[in-house]
Amino acid sequence: MSDSSSHQDSASQEQAPQQEVQIHYRSDYRPYPYDIERVHLAFDLAPNATVVDTTLTIQRKTDADDEEPLRLDGVDLELMSIAIDGRVLDESEYRLIEDGLEVLNPPQSFELSTKVKISPDTNTSLEGLYLSSGKYCTQCEAEGFRKITFYPDRPDVMSTFTVRIEADAKEFPHLLSNGNRIEHGDLEGGKHFAVWEDPFKKPSYLFALCAGDYDLLTSSFSTMTGREVRLEIYVDKGKLDQCHHAMESLKKAMKWDEEVFGLEYDLDIYMIVAVGDFNMGAMENKGLNIFNTKYVLASQDTATDTDFIDVEAVIGHEYFHNWTGNRVTCRDWFQLSLKEGLTVFRDQEFTADQTDHGVKRIEDVKVIRSHQFAEDAGPMAHPIRPDSYIEMNNFYTVTVYNKGAEIIRMYQTLLGRDGFKRGLDVYFERHDGEAVTCEDFVRAMEDGNSYDLKQFRRWYSQAGTPEVEIKSQYDGDKRQITFTMKQSCPPTPGQEDKAPFHIPIKIGLLDDLGNDITLKPLALGETDARVEGDIVHLTQAEQSVTFDDVPETITPSILREFSAPVKLKYDYSLKELIFLFAHDSDAFNRWQAGQELFSRIIFGLCAQLEAGEALVFDESLVNATKNLLDDNELDGQFKSLALTIPGVSTLIEQVSSINIDHLIEARNFVKRQLAEALELDLLLHYQTNHHVGDFEQDKESVAKRALAGTCLSYLMTLEKEDVYQLALKQLDNANNMTDASTALQLIVHSHYDDKLKVAEEFYQKWQNEELVVNKWLAIMATDPSDETIDRIESLLDHPSFELKNPNKVRSLIGAFTGANPAQFHRGDGRGYRYLARQIKALYAVNPQVSALLTGAFNRWRKFDSARQVLMREQLEDILKMPELSKDVYEIASKALK
């Protein structure tokens, strides 16, 4: 990436003020010249005057320059004292600099003591130490520790930490930090203390502290070597009954990691604290995981089936980080995908083993296609290992996380499950207790399998989504089919030309009954791709592969399991797609065939609208959909996914530009026409699957609720009173949040006059359950009707909303921009102006969340010229804001480039 302050186009230079920014480059990495062997922290907690005493045991490295000062990071810290080996320094021996502190001419080996004062109650950024709902909490990843004390706040500086916490005993009876508690007791003046010691070296981003009055759920887990680990979950008072699913999920994750990867937990205690004000989903701090309440609290009354799955997945994700992130961590933040991509892959595999592999794979690919492909094609495109950044918080992206997981999955595809496990074993054996790079991981995979991954490394350095175009030719005389494959990758910022990737393409050939035939590849020449089992290795810009003994009536099934994060171009006929939709043994490709059917028909309708023609519906989709509905062998969740029409964001990424009004109209038309043609079938399947008896969370019940909800959503497009009454009845009789929230959304998004009355009754019922209220906010924000912007404007002052709370912002403003295309992309620009106002109100309060919202403008060039002008105006206006945060500046300036 280039320096955004010096490479803006001329229009941006005229209208957007230049801002001094520091760009960090991966190529500039230098090891820290000092070892921080031990860290002793002492906190005297007070809302606006917390005092932090820090003692660092420091040793200059043998190869470090004796003249080089000791530089420590620090932001918003009031320095009260500084000393070396007990001697107070005078002002000539140190200097305060922007964002830090320098100690001049320090000795080779010494103890540095600092005392600083911070104000947790005014820390609205939710980074560092902050006060939330009367409780103290920390968030230090990526660079929040520098808001707590002066320290080299980088992941390659690893130390052992001892932490002492003092606070009022009545207000804060629980004082928590990393590791094991080794001491606690009472103090004068109604205070008490606790001392925590973490025996494992860790970087500062894994430090954690929580202090408050919580309800506590306890349990235990026996590891594979017979050690007893105490498990604790801390939550707000009155929420204990919503923690049991999280506790069971934790035990499942611990057991799964032992059985699948042979990885055992290493401390005597594992703690989780649920926090309502949190920028992220959760944080893997060693032994003390801090979670957004969204990913801890779950009961049948308050959580949907998706929530239950998400809680289990995130609990697993943070636990799995104990090895892939904590025991082995990142050398620098450019290597973030080293821990996040790997751990996302591990949590995906965990969830698949608990639920359904095919359904889980589809869900994961939906995220890639709707969000990551858009990021790859936009101004923030970057490889999974970026080369530069202005603000690190902007690179906690779907590329680093989800595409990173796809790259890890390809290792397993290439090496097999056993081979992947061997490589991971080598990785841990070599690097336990170290801060390493992506290259170290690749090398471990190579050495564990004697496999050359030189070309595969390009996935780490090249941005963008590769496109694979495949054409087939059948030779009837030889009974052979030849596939010619071409790969390319569009230019991305800073990368015009791309070298060929190593792309594993899983392939199947179906006979006329839908059975997979045995693949018999022929090696005919140097340009032929290598084939191993059902995997074709595409490694050149153009290659071919030929299969022998193939009947004329075969149908190819290409890119099974989405074996690589690419865009596939293969000219399937409508007949072939319908056949795959009905018969493919690969769940992903069966679903994909249906998605391709939907997409083709929708874009055909868009062309009709563009030409001013009357819309004509393709009836072939009706029979295909009916056959799917009636297939009793299929899981209800798969049916629900297969019946769900591709979302607007996914459809947008399939074309270079789009008339958004036509796209929304065409998509709605398809859903309504299917509902009209299959009304009785949909009603029958709704009634068969909608269950009002005792609540169950088993796989079959979850599948039934999913299919019933999808059928009802189709029926509601008919705008019939009897269907509306069905939705009202489901809401009134619901004994679980899945049925209740599904019905509420369908009602609020309908045209019926009493929908706001129904919504208000729901709010009144659940107003004391914050996570349910957040669902209500999102439902209100995604109503496609023209009154929605007025409604969400008023909700900014509603008791349910708080601008400083990230969950509230994501539920109301984020849901509006991301899931209400009809209103966000209004032709009059009101949606864009609404978002820009919220960004301006938020950037000084919480830069991370404000930057996240700014990203909604990234794809402005996808739309018609009038909307481009409207979005560009808002971006330029945002860049004119005084003291604009680095987070927002980076997103907005790159969008305009």
Which residues neighbour 866 within 8 Å (Cβ) at sequence distance 6 or greater? 827
How far is residue 694 CA from its own chain's centroid? 34
Spatial distance between the Cα atoms of 347 and 629, rounded to a whole number of angstroms: 31
Is residue 318 flagged as an active site residue? yes
8 A C-beta contact, residue 338 and residue 330: yes
Cβ neighbour number for residue 572 with a 10 Å cutoff: 18
8 A C-beta contact, residue 521 and residue 547: yes
H or E element that contains 11: helix 10-15
Query: Which burial class, exposed, middle or buried, applies to 800 when counting CB atoms under 10 A from its CB (0-12, 13-18, 19+)?
Result: middle
- The three-state secondary structure class of 90 is coil
Which residues neighbour 247 within 8 Å (Cβ) at sequence distance 6 or greater? 217, 219, 231, 233
8 A C-beta contact, residue 724 and residue 716: yes
HEC readout, 122-168 = HCCCCCEEEEECCEEEEECCCCCHHHCCCECCCCCCCEEEEEEEEEE
Spatial distance between the Cα atoms of 434 and 696, rounded to a whole number of angstroms: 45
Spatial distance between the Cα atoms of 742 and 791, rounded to a whole number of angstroms: 20
How far is residue 859 CA from its own chain's centroid? 19
DSSP 8-state secondary structure symbol assigned to residue 495: B
Q: Which two tokens stand for residue 581?
A: 């939709």
Spatial distance between the Cα atoms of 718 and 750, rounded to a whole number of angstroms: 10
Query: Which burial class, exposed, middle or buried, applies to 42 when counting CB atoms under 10 A from its CB (0-12, 13-18, 19+)?
Result: middle
Q: In sequence order, which ranges of 299-403 are alpha helices (DSSP H)?
A: 305-320, 336-354, 357-367, 373-376, 398
Output the CA angle 331-334-338, nearest 5 degrees.
65
Q: Which two tokens stand for residue 290?
A: 């801090």
- The three-state secondary structure class of 323 is coil
Which residues neighbour 450 within 8 Å (Cβ) at sequence distance 6 or greater? none
**Which one of 141, 166, 312, 318 is the catalytic residue?**
318
Which one, of 316, 485, 337, lies nearest residue 404 by Cα? 337
Tell me the residue type at 885.
S
* Alpha-carbon Rg for the chain in angstroms: 28
Q: Which two tokens stand for residue 203?
A: 């970087």
* 435-436 and 329-330 strand pairing: parallel
Instruction: Assign residue 744 a region (left: φ > 0; alpha: ψ between -120 and 50; beta: otherwise).
Output: alpha
Give the CA distances from residue 221 to residues 318, 541, 834, in Å, rounded to whole numbers and listed in that order: 17, 52, 49
Cβ neighbour number for residue 789 with a 10 Å cutoff: 20
DSSP string, 584-607: -SSHHHHHHHHHHHHHHHHHHHHH
Cβ neighbour number for residue 346 with a 10 Å cutoff: 26
Spatial distance between the Cα atoms of 823 and 833, rounded to a whole number of angstroms: 12
8 A C-beta contact, residue 831 and residue 789: yes
Burial pattern 813-824, b for ≥16 Cβ within 10 A else e, equals bbbbbbebbbbb
Catalytic residues: 318
